Each structure stands twice: as C-alpha cells, then as structure tokens.
C-alpha cells in the first residue's frame, strides 16, 4: 500500500512538472481598457434568481473535459458563475478575465477570490485561506480592500455565506482533476502564478451583467473591441437553459469580438446521464463561427436547438461538439 501511494504521488508530480515553468508576470492592464471596463454599467438586479439560489459554487464536476479545447488559447475569457472560470483560465493562459453574472452575490464572491489570490503566494496557501481557521485573516483582507462601508459589508456577507461551500468545492475540484491526471491552478504552481498575476496586473473584472440585458455585455464587448482584444473562451455554463434566445441576447453575443480560434463552452444537464462523468452534465464545445451563425437575426434558435445538434466525442464520454450551421448559413450543395 505504501509503495503504491508513493508511486501515485510521483506520477502526479510528473504531471505537474510537465506543465512547464512558473508563469511570468503579465503586463498591467492598458489604462484605457481599465477605464472603459470600470465604466461599464451593470444590468438591473434580476427580479428572480435562477432556481431561487445563489450559485456561489458550480455543481458541474467534469470541467477537465474542456481542458484540450481551451489549452493555451490566450486572449480574453468571459464566463458566468464562479470556480469553473479559474480552471479554464489556468488551462487557457488567458490574458484577461471578465467574470459576468446577474447575481450580485456571485460578483461579490469574485471580490473575495481577488483578496485570496492576492494574499496567497501558492496553491497550498490559497486553499488554506478558505478554511475556517483563516476566517479572521480573510475578513481583514476584505475590510482593508473595501473602504466603502456598503461594498465592504456586502462582500463580507458573501464571504460568510460562501466560505465553507467554496472550500469544499475547491478540494473536490482538485481531487477530480488529479483523478484524470489533469493539472489545475489548485496544484500547478505555473497556472496558479498566472492567475495571481492577472489579479495583480488588474486584468480581472467582475461585472454584474445579464446575458439578455442591454448594458453590461455590450459595454464589455465595446471595451474589448476598442482595445483590440479577442474573446477566445466564452463559458456559459447552463445559463441559456433559463431564458429564450431573445433579440437582445443575440445582439449581445454578436457584439463579442471572437476570432477563428474562439470557442463557446456550455453544459447541458440531463441529456446524456448514461455517459456523463459527473452523472448529470454533457460538456459542449462550439466554435464561435458556428455559434455566431445561429445568433443572426431571423435564425430560429434556442438552447434545445443547439444541444440537439451535438456530436459525441467517442474518445471522451460526456464531451460533445456543436459544429452545425443553421440551414440559412449552409453553402449550396455542389460547392
């Protein structure tokens, strides 16, 4: 038993070391982009939360299926929710993060993540900071960083609500990735250093935004476009399940500056439970070119429309791709 344990630890160390050297410090965010991002107007608070819950942690358990699709893409990551964005950004070596959610509590949880990243030099310290034993330290960091009492109290409430869930979730993620021999920011010093450097360089923005709203997504897209930056990863989780693909949603998605390497990631619960590694979600990768074709005005589309066009990756159960174009965008036969 001892020999097997040692062998497993040596094998895991080899995976981490193979990930490469520690990340170099990233340059500060361009001042013009920072000003525009800070000026993005948040969308109104929702009248009702999806499932009447604050999603301070994700319940998706197999994001490692996305690793190859995003590996070293760089560029900007725009994502909803909390912890999956940090996994994806570590694998993608993203240049800038826009963490978007219509729930202010989720936005405030990212403010807590900011303080934990800034005050934790390595993955072990980062994980330890979420323990109950470090509560006074984290509350001190939050208090020092937020001089406005309203902001400070709101972020403290979010921390107290989320702390134990986040600690459990991060340790669960680390275990799941290790089981697949996939390094993550939770134990790969290079990935962790890169994410921490993004925070230190002011390259992480948490925005209260509604994917179907008329303000935040368009403001973010305009700021990124003006700065000549490209969104390489758009992570939607399963948010599209909760709304229709309205004109505003399609307008927002078309405004995002993609290129031919960009991917859209989403999850769909309950579609293929027999092959889902986490027992629930299918993990879907869609090239941005396919996604934006479906986002055109006049093209009938919904979450169900896109998911129903998935093609399973037989080598990776639970992973599927969507490459189909709408009929209106398909080239004529014979060409």
Q: Is residue 6 part of a domain?
A: no
Q: Is residue 161 part of a domain?
A: yes
Positive or negative, the Cα torsion across 97, 75, 241, 59? negative
Q: Is residue 331 part of a domain?
A: no
Q: Is residue 4 part of a domain?
A: no
**Closest CA relative to residue 109, chosen from 140, 80, 69, 75:** 80
Q: Is residue 66 part of a domain?
A: yes
Q: Is residue 87 part of a domain?
A: yes
Q: How many domains does the chain have?
A: 1
Q: What span, in angstroms and rounded, lies between the C-alpha atoms of 170 and 59?
A: 11
Q: What span, in angstroms and rounded, lies between the C-alpha atoms of 252 and 257?
A: 11
Domain enclosing residue 256, as ranges: 11-326
Residue in the block written with tokens 């450097």: 197
Per-residue pLDDT tens over the stretch 63-102: 999 999 999 999 999 999 999 999 999 999 999 999 999 9
| pLDDT at residue number 332 | 58
Q: Is 270 left (phi over 0), alpha (psi -120 to 50) or beta?
A: left
Per-residue pLDDT tens over the stretch 149-208: 999 999 999 999 999 999 999 999 999 999 999 999 999 999 999 999 999 999 999 999
| pLDDT at residue number 16 | 36
Per-residue pLDDT tens over the stretch 211-262: 999 999 999 999 999 999 999 999 999 999 999 999 999 999 999 999 999 9
Task: Give burial (CB, 10 Å; 0-12/13-18/19+) of 335.
Answer: exposed
pLDDT more than 70, % of the chain: 90
Q: Is residue 88 part of a domain?
A: yes
Q: Is residue 84 part of a domain?
A: yes
Per-residue pLDDT tens over the stretch 24-58: 578 999 999 999 999 999 999 887 776 667 889 99
């Amino acid at each position: 038993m001892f020999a097997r344990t040692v062998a497993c630890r040596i094998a895991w160390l080899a995976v981490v070391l193979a990930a490469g050297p520690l990340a170099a410090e990233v340059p500060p965010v361009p001042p013009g982009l920072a000003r525009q991002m800070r000026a993005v107007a948040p969308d109104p608070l929702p009248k009702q939360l999806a499932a009447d819950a604050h999603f301070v942690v994700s319940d998706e358990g197999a994001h490692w299926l996305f690793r190859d699709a995003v590996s070293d893409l760089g560029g900007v990551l725009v994502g909803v929710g909390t912890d999956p964005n940090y996994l994806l950004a570590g694998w993608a070596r993203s240049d800038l993060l826009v963490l978007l959610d219509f729930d202010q509590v989720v936005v405030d949880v990212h403010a807590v993540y900011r303080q934990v990243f800034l005050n934790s030099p390595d993955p072990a310290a980062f994980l330890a900071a979420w323990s109950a034993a470090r509560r006074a330290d984290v509350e001190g960091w939050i208090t020092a960083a937020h001089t406005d009492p309203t902001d400070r109290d709101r972020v403290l409430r979010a921390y107290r609500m989320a702390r134990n869930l986040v600690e459990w979730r991060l340790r669960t993620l680390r275990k799941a990735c290790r089981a697949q021999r996939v390094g993550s920011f939770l134990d790969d010093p290079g990935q962790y250093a890169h994410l921490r450097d993004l925070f230190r360089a002011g390259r992480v923005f948490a925005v209260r935004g509604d994917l179907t709203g008329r303000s935040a997504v368009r403001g973010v897209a305009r700021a990124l476009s003006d700065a000549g930056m490209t969104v390489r990863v758009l992570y939607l989780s399963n948010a599209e399940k909760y709304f229709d693909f309205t004109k505003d949603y399609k307008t927002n998605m078309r405004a995002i500056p993609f290129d031919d390497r960009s991917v859209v990631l989403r999850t769909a619960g309950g579609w293929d439970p027999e092959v889902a590694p986490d027992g629930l979600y299918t993990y879907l990768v869609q090239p941005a070119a396919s996604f934006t074709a479906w986002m055109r005005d006049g093209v009938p589309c919904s979450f169900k429309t896109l998911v129903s066009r998935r093609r399973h990756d037989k080598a990776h159960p639970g992973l599927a791709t969507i490459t189909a174009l709408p009929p209106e965008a398909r080239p004529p036969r014979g060409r």
